Amino acid sequence: MSKRPLILVTNDDGINATGIRTLITIMKTIGDVIVVAPDSPQSGMGHAITLDSTLYAEELHYKEGDHKEYSCSGTPADCVKLAIRELLHRKPDLCVSGINHGSNSSINVIYSGTMSAAIEAGIEGIPAIGFSLLNYKWNAQFDACIPFVKTITENVLANGLPSGVVLNVNIPDIEEKDIKGIKICRQARANWVEEFDKRINPQGKDYYWLTGKFVNLDGGEDTDEWALENNYVSLVPVQFDLTAHQHIENIKNWNFKL
C-alpha cells in the first residue's frame, strides 16, 4: 500500500475560520494532515515575517483528534517556516493555503497572506496551492468549493509542479451546479484605486480608513478576472522569480558610465 501524502494546511484568516476548517476536511480524505495557521486574522499581510518579536505555536486538541493542529502567533509565512523547521517530522508532500474568505485574483496575489504562505512553501521546494472563494463574509458557505479543491489537489499530487511555481486558485461564489469548470489562465492586469477616509478621533488626532475600488484594466478572455466573471474556477500558475527576464538585454545597453 502506498504511503499517504503529508499535507501542510495553513491560511491567513486564522485557524478558526470556516474556510480552513473546510480545507482540513477535504485534505483528510487525501492524505495525512498537519495544520499550522495564525491564531488571528492576517489578511493583507503579504509575505511579512516576524523579526523583532517572539513566535509562539500552541498545539490545539480537537475532538476529531486524528491530526495535529498548531495555532501560531505569527504571519502566514511564519506559519510555513515554523512548520517546516520545527513542527513537522518530515518535509510535507504538499502545502495548501485557504480556503480564503475573499478574492485573491489578479493584483490581489501581491497582498495576499494566503498566497504568500503557498509561495513560502514553494520557495522550500514544496508543491503548493492557494485557494480562495469570492465571498468575504465570515459565515461564507464553502460547499461548492469541495469538488474543485479536491480534483486540483489530486492533480498536483499526481503530476507535480514546475520548480518555482505555485497555483493560485479562485472560486466564484455561486452554487456548484452553476460553475462551468476550471479555466487555466493568466493574471489579469488590474489594480486598486485607493482612497483614504480621513477622520478625527476624540483626542483631536487625524486617523485614516483605507477604502477604494478594484479596476480591471484587462479586456482579455484568457484572464482570471474573465474566468470568474463567467462562472469558471480560475487557476493561475504563479512564479515567485520576479525578474523581468525579457528586459535584461535591453537594460544592458544603457549607459551607466560615472
Cα–Cα distance, 161 to 50 (Å, whole number): 28
What's the mean pLDDT in 219-237?
96
Q: Tell me: pLDDT of 6 over 70.
A: yes
What's the mean pLDDT in 167-175?
97
- Taking alpha carbons only, the member of 179, 190, 163, 177 closest to residue 235 is 179
Q: What does the pLDDT read at residue 48?
A: 87
For domain 6-187+220-242, the CATH superfamily is Survival protein SurE-like phosphatase/nucleotidase (3.40.1210.10)
Q: What does the pLDDT read at residue 2?
A: 56
What's the pTM value of the predicted model, to 2 decimals? Answer: 0.92
Please state which of the ranges 9-13, 136-140, 163-167, 213-217 shows the lowest mean pLDDT. 213-217
Q: Tell me: pLDDT of 1 over 70.
A: no
Starting at the edge strand that comes first in sequence, how are the strands of the sheet with 68-72 ordered? Answer: 57-60, 68-72, 32-38, 6-10, 94-101, 128-133, 165-171, 233-239, 182-184
Chain mean position to CA 201: 35
Span 37-79, pLDDT tens digits:
999 888 888 888 889 899 999 998 765 667 899 999 999 999 9
Q: What is the mean pLDDT of the chain?
A: 93
Residue 91 φ then ψ, to 5°: -65, 130
Whether 111 and 102 have beta carbons less than 8 Å apart is answered as no
Number of Cα atoms under 13 Å in the Cβ half of residue 111: 12
